[in-house]
């Protein structure tokens, strides 16, 4: 999966007062795009020394021993030799390095959080970054705003040697995925699994069992993967507002996605190999 970058390591600890290092990675965003270039099927990021005049650089995290910074003011037009590539498109444009793509996704999540919390949601006054931790502070009412993570589930619904596979409506993605959805207020992850499967496919489930999780920074998610068994009727009643296809697929016929970045793909491949948790 995208976060499986060993022997590399992304350390997200906030380090107060860390001095700027020109050799550090520079994350420069315009809308959904990150400034970079693709060479030999690999993403290349700029260093702070490449663009020292793009405003204040804010420390984000370290990748291995290299600090990573967010530039305050990137240009609207990419400088010569560089381009803005939509962060969610990096996995289509380049095969790696995986640690760089994962770092870009994580930096994008933090960049959006800083942007979305420039004003206090309680009193409407300007906020500023805290000096002692990763938080935005409102001096007017004293509120501290921390990054929020949105929980969601990926669900492998099984019926013996078959798994429920779906394609979402309105997306230009040709390959299959699994049932997925966001956790609602007051709901456990297991309740989310049962509700989403019922809403999308009209199926009851049982024996819900956790598999593993994945950060998905491009949409602020923390994805939790579950397998479960169909309970009773296997007849699919598809939500046509959400899906364009929902079918039972025998494990030997399961086809993976083009890369191994996603929890969805790993869960499909685990089922194909007969290794899903029982």
pLDDT interval class at 278 (50, 70, 90): confident
For every residue of 106-122, which 3-state class applies, written as one string?
A: HHHHHHHHHHHCCECCC
Give the largest CA-CA distance in the chain.
63
Dihedral over alpha carbons 185, 188, 191, 196 (to 10 degrees):
60
- Give per-residue pLDDT as tens, 13-53: 999 888 999 999 999 999 999 999 999 999 999 999 999 98
pLDDT digit string, tens, across residues 177-199: 999 999 999 999 999 999 999 99
Per-residue pLDDT tens digits for 220-274: 999 999 999 999 999 999 999 999 999 999 999 999 998 999 999 999 999 999 9
Is the pTM higher than 0.85? The answer reads yes
Q: Do 223 and 216 form a contact (C-beta atoms < 8 A)? A: yes
Q: How far apart are CA 129 and CA 139, in angstroms?
A: 11
Helix (H, G, I), strand (E, B) or coil at 99: helix
What's 55's DSSP letter?
S
Domain regions of the chain by residue span: 10-116, 150-272
Question: What pLDDT shows up at residue 13?
Answer: 92
**Model confidence over 86-110: pLDDT tens digits?**
999 998 888 889 999 999 999 999 9
DSSP string, 249-266: EEGGG----SSS-SHHHH
Q: Tell me the CATH number for domain 150-272.
A: 3.90.79.10
pLDDT at 142: 94
Domains 10-116 and 150-272 belong to one CATH topology: yes
Name residues whose C-beta falls within 8 Å of residue 230's C-beta, 6 or more positions apart in sequence.
157, 158, 159, 164, 203, 204, 205, 206
In CATH terms, the fold of domain 10-116 is Nucleoside Triphosphate Pyrophosphohydrolase (3.90.79)
Distance of CA 157 to the CA centre of its chain: 22
């Amino acid at each position: 999966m995208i976060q499986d970058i060993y022997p590399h390591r992304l350390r997200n600890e906030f380090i107060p007062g860390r001095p700027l290092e020109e050799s550090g990675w520079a994350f420069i965003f315009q809308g959904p795009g990150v400034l970079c270039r693709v060479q030999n099927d690999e993403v290349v990021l700029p260093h702070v020394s490449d663009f020292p005049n793009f405003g204040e650089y804010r420390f984000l995290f370290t990748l291995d021993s290299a600090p990573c910074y967010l530039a305050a003011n990137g240009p609207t037009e990419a400088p010569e030799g560089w381009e803005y590539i939509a962060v969610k498109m990096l996995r289509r444009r380049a095969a790696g390095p995986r640690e760089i793509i994962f770092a870009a996704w994580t930096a994008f999540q933090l960049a959006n959080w800083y942007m979305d919390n420039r004003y206090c949601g309680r009193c409407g006054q300007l906020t500023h970054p805290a000096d002692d931790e990763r938080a935005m502070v409102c001096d007017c009412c004293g509120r501290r705003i921390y990054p929020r993570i949105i929980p969601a589930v990926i669900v492998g619904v099984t019926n013996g040697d078959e798994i429920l596979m779906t394609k979402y409506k309105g997306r230009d993605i040709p390959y299959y995925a699994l049932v997925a959805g966001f956790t609602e207020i007051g709901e456990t992850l297991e309740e989310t699994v049962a509700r989403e499967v019922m809403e999308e496919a009209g199926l009851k489930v049982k024996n819900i069992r956790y598999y593993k999780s994945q950060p998905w920074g491009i949409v602020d998610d923390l994805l939790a993967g579950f397998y479960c068994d169909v309970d009773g009727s296997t007849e699919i009643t598809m939500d046509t507002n959400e899906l364009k296809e929902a079918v039972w697929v025998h494990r030997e016929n399961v086809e993976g996605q083009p890369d191994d970045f996603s929890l969805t793909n790993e869960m499909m491949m685990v089922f194909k190999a007969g290794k899903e948790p029982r």
